[in-house]
Amino acid sequence: MKNRRFTTTEGMFLLLKRLFGRGSVPNKVFDETDVDSAEPQPKQELPERKWLMTDEENIRLTSTSVAQEDAPPEVPDQCNDDVWNSILALITSVSKNVLYGPGRGLWEDGKFLLTYAPGRRSKPSDIDPNSKEHWLNVRHALYPALHCTSWCNTFLAWLLRFNEDFTHAGTIPQLFDLCSKIGLQVVPQKEGWTLRYRGYGEHCYEIESNGSTKSRVRSLIRGKAYIDAMELYERRSEMPSVVVFGQSTKQADGSWNEWHHTGMFLFREGRMHRSAADGYAARGTYSSSPMGWTEITPENIGKLDLCRYRVYGVRTNADGTYGDQTRPVAEVTFE
């Protein structure tokens, strides 16, 4: 390209163009020849640029940003109000009518039935020390009974609407198998009998520690900290509504009674509750202890300092319900 002399006006304009770039000067449409090109460029019309927002736009943008900043994080697997109220009603009823013992729920005539005997209706010989098969208790009486794992199994079957698919008889498997296996499990035992149970694995998932337990405690179980009650309480606003736990407890001699207890933690609106069939069977006699149902608070959480947990959240459907919606929520009755 031949050297070209510019007028003062052209020179100033070219300088502005190079400083700010094409289209950077507001409301200016460039139509001169590009000085770095041998060929003239076609006229290009650029849209008018708005340099200032209107008051309405500014308010809308500001309110949107504030709303996004203030919006609470989404909490997974929260049940809806109707389901929550039905859970509370069930736990309240069970807590009033059931004591610690050998019982397991039955599915009978379209309902769950809680009995004293495991896997069948109760009979007087169940508490007769002279009978071949008996389950003694400190009250020397028959009553609707559950122990820790049978309560979790019955509760999950009711919550997830397993109904007629509920398996109750025989020994209950370890909680971790119950919450991780899917479908009917048939497990031959070395004693010659067969364990049959139906797992809830498609509805449950294990919740891992966020590390706060290990940073707070020194004593480990086989090299792992697992989760303590304080971590669960600190995370109560991000927990699913229903969390099933397996519990190990530290003994006075420093050893651990590993995974000897189960129950549920329930979370709602930043509050944490515990439901469990708490009791014992000393020398073959059940303690007849009442069901445990309490809110966990800063004042009483210290009672759980010696406990460590593995915990499983329970998945909700999109509408905040649980399980197969083609099946009804069954009634729970007592023998």
Per-residue pLDDT band for 74 (boundaries 50, 70, 90) equals confident
| Residue 59 scores a pLDDT above 50 | no
| Residue 36 scores a pLDDT above 70 | no
Per-residue pLDDT band for 101 (boundaries 50, 70, 90) equals very high
Burial of 183 (0-12, 13-18, 19+ CB in 10 A): exposed
Do the beta carbons of residue 274 and residue 294 sit within 8 Å? yes
| Residue 56 scores a pLDDT above 70 | no
Position 170 scores a pLDDT of 53
Do the beta carbons of residue 313 and residue 208 sit within 8 Å? no
| Residue 86 scores a pLDDT above 80 | yes
Return the minimum-mean-pLDDT range out of 3-7, 35-39, 65-69, 274-278: 35-39
Position 203 scores a pLDDT of 96
Position 241 scores a pLDDT of 98
Q: Residue 154's closest CA among 51, 304, 327, 146? A: 146
Return the minimum-mean-pLDDT range out of 76-90, 156-170, 320-334: 156-170
Say which residue, 282 or 62, is predicted with more confidence. Answer: 282
**CA–CA gap between residue 174 and residue 200 (Å, rounded):** 12
Do the beta carbons of residue 129 and residue 136 sit within 8 Å? yes
Return the minimum-mean-pLDDT range out of 8-22, 207-221, 303-317: 8-22
Do the beta carbons of residue 274 and residue 293 sit within 8 Å? yes
β-sheet bridge partners, residue 295: 273
Return the minimum-mean-pLDDT range out of 22-31, 213-222, 239-248: 22-31
Structure tokens at 284: 């073959």
Position 50 scores a pLDDT of 39
pTM, to two decimals: 0.77
Pairing of strands 136-137, 285-286: parallel
> Within 10 A of 252 (CB to CB), how many other CB atoms are there?
6
| Residue 22 scores a pLDDT above 80 | no
State percent of the chain over pLDDT 70. 77
**What is the mean predicted confidence (pLDDT) over 56-60?**
46
Return the minimum-mean-pLDDT range out of 71-75, 105-109, 149-153, 183-187: 71-75
User: Side chain identity at 319, as an amino acid letter?
Assistant: D
**What is the mean predicted confidence (pLDDT) over 242-253?**
96
Q: Residue 143's closest CA among 111, 102, 106, 109? A: 102
